[in-house]
Each structure stands twice: as structure tokens, then as C-alpha cells.
Structure 1
Amino acid sequence: MSEIVTAAMVVIGDEILSGRTKDRNISHLADMLTAVGIDLKEVRIVADDEAAIVEAVNTLRARNTYVFTTGGIGPTHDDITADAVSAAFGVPCDYEPKALKLLEEHFARRGIAFTEARKRMARMPKGAVHIANPISVAPGFNIGNVYVMAGVPAIFQAMLDAVVPTLKTGAKLLSVAIPSPLPEGTIGGPLGEIQKAHAEAIIGSYPKYQDGSFWTEIVIRARSEDVLKEAKTAVEAMLDGLLKRN
């Protein structure tokens, strides 16, 4: 069986925490990683604060295969992600020559002044590798197991499309959904016992409301077809027994 590959995400920006901007990147990253067999284990949302970013990046990169960050790599004074990631790795943050040239040529073609603010988008940790930005040119970067990308959803998605094919992938989770007409309060105890007996499976229950009535969706996930089948059989037998009694 393939090894388990894990990831975490750091969403950076006061505007996310204040509610002025609604995040659209978490669900996209989760979908993309799930599709290739990488488990997204944790998401942190932090302010534009260097110490908070450093702590989050260092904590998460130590216990996950990959860390993805979004936000804070633009031209303004509060775009401090490059500085914070440099501090997390203990390396200098400076203008990267190739990024500087890309941006200079990009703004020249558009007849826009290449100001000091715009030059900030070429700053990255020493030793970092570009993540291409096919939309607005300013690159993201990769250092160690950390991938630093833009917060603008269209740009983030384009950068992620370039990154995902380069990642090590793991065993994909298989899943099956079983509808239950019984509420969580009724199935909770027996379902917990099934989870204990089938530790290799991940069993979740999700209350639903449809057409004026409540019901429960039971979702079983596993990396082995046999494990999935055994847990499914146990859940179906449990439901059948409870329904016969009611």
C-alpha cells in the first residue's frame, strides 16, 4: 500500500479574519489534494503578523509532508509572507533576480511604472524556487516542503495546477455513503462500537434535513476495499437490526 501523504494549509490575511474577504481557496485545495491521495489534515487562518505566520509554518511543516500558504505576497506594506517564511527557515529574504526581471518586463509591456511597491513581489527566501503565475506574472515560491501562493482564487488555482503534478502522492481514500432514516441519537452508540471494531476505517455521520424530515448520512472511508466492505456490512447490519426493533 502507498504511504500516507499529509498536508496543511496556512491562510494569511487580516481581511479573512475580519470577514471582509471570504476564503475560496480551502475547499479547492481540499478537492485537489483528495483527488491525488494527499490528506489535508489542518487549516490555520492567521493575521498579517510575522510571529503568527512563522509559528504556524514551522509547526505545520514539521508534522506534514507539505504545507501550502495563501495570501500576503502582493505589493503592499502588509504583504509580509515572504519575510515570515524566510524567518521560519532562517534565511535572508531579498529580491530574486529572475522574478525581478519577469516583473520588470511585464510592467514595461503594459506601460506601467515598476515602482518600489511592485518590486516587493519579487522578494522571496534565499534558495526558493519559483511557482509560475500564468495570470499576473508575479511568482509564488517553494522552499523545503512549503509552497507559498497568492490569495486571489484564480491565481491560487493556476499556481496549484502547476504544483500538484510535482507532489508525492499517497493511497487514495475510498468512500461509501449509507442513508439512515434513524437520527444520530439512535445510531450514535452502535456506530461508535462499529468504529472501534473497524479501526482502519473512518466512519462519520452527518444529519440531513430534506422534504420536511430529518435523516442521517453515514459515510465510511478507507484505503482498502476489504476494510471498506467489512465496515459497510457492519453498518448495514446495525441499521437493519435497529429498524426491525422500531
Structure 2
Amino acid sequence: MTNAFHLENKIALITGGASGIGAATVREFSRAGAHVLIADLNLAAAQSLAAELPNAKAVAMDVTDSSSIATAFKDIPTLDILVNCAGVGLVGDITRTSEEDFSRVMRVNVNSIFLVTQAAFPLLLASRGSIVNIGSVAGSVGVKQRFAYCASKGAVQAMTRQIAVDYPKELRINCVAPGTVQTPFVEGYLDKYHAHEKEKVRSELVARQPIGRLGTPEDIASLARYLCSAEAEFINGAVIPIDGGWTAA
């Protein structure tokens, strides 16, 4: 079964590909045989990761800037897979969310998927390709102190379903909805908001996932790989939780 879920010779573009879930997805797709384009605002980090892998290339891209995206796509003649992974978080309820911060979260988490997917669409239609949007359980359930983030991830789910309805035979698009994943973002959150009680809050993050641990970037990357493989060709327009049982409880 070594060829299961293979992506041999597929061209895959992964936004936010230089760190966290994006970097794990880059490694997983490379392992599966894909040629991976690592799109990131941090070009140096993307280049460093690309140097570790066969058939990987760094691409400078600001996913919130249509001109930056257009420049990147000038050098991408074909594309089979798009993984929209770039994103940011924000802590705060509606009373503690500024207009500026709300706009920033929506710009990075929502507008970017619109802009990058629109730019990639002609190539993906030509290849009958596959799109995976990295969403969150926060798009399905309310999470305390995550007003803007929940709003943005709800939009990711809606965009996924809508495109699947408009283009059911031309390509496939699905959304992965992780629970809390052990990434640099989570560590940054703990350092910024809970420096004096990191382990206590970390335990609380673990506890809300019935399986008893945080997710890993590799957990999410494995599901993304499956969704882009031939074995998943009947899955379209789906929002798939990968959350240790959080949304089932």
C-alpha cells in the first residue's frame, strides 16, 4: 500500500507554507510525490524549507495583495492542487475587537482565499484540480473570546460549499476544520496572553478535545493529502472536522 494517497507529479501550491500546518503540508505533499510551491510572505523561511525537499520551490506571496498574487502566478503555468493555509488569529469578544483588527482578520483569513483561489481558478479548471481550505472548528461552533476568528472561519466554510455547488464536475473543493493544533501560533498565544499560567491554560486547551491531546500539524497535513488524492474523488463540498472529538461532544 505504499502508493496509497499518492500525489505523484501533481503541482501543488500551499499558502502559508513556511510554518506550522502549512509547512507540515508541504512536507507531506512532497513525500507523496508532488511538486510543491511554498507560497509565503516570509520568503527566506520558504526558501529554507524548499532547500530541504525534492521538487519544492519557494514563492514570494502576500495573500492579501492581488498584485503580489498576480505576480506569483505569472510563473505558474499549471496547477493541480491549491491548499489555502495562510491565516491569523485574534483573541477578544465583540466588545474588545477593534474595527482595524476585525478587518485584518477578515483580510488574511477570508479575502486571501477569495483572491488566491480566483487567481488559481483557470489553472485548476484546466487540470480538474483540487482545493483544500484550512478552516477551523471555530467556523462550526462558538469559541470563547474568538469573535473575529469565528466569523472568518465561518466564511471559509461558506465559500467552500458555494464553490462546490457552482463547479461540481469541474474541480473538487473541501474544507478541513482543525481543533487546537500545536503550532507556533498556539505558543505565541500562550506567551502573549498567559505567560504566568502557560501550563494551566495549555491543559485547558487539551481538555476541550476529548481525545486528550492537541492536534499536530502532521495530523492536518495527512488529511489534506488524502483529500487531494484519487481515493477521495467522491468527496466534494465537505467540511471535515479533525478535532479529537471536540465538535462531537
Fold-level similarity (TM above 0.5): no
Higher RCO (CA 8 Å, separation ≥ 6 residues) = 2
TM-score by length of 1: 0.39
Q: Say which structure is richer in strand.
A: 1
Instruction: Pick the structure with more helix per residue.
Output: 2
Which structure would you say has the larger Rg? 1
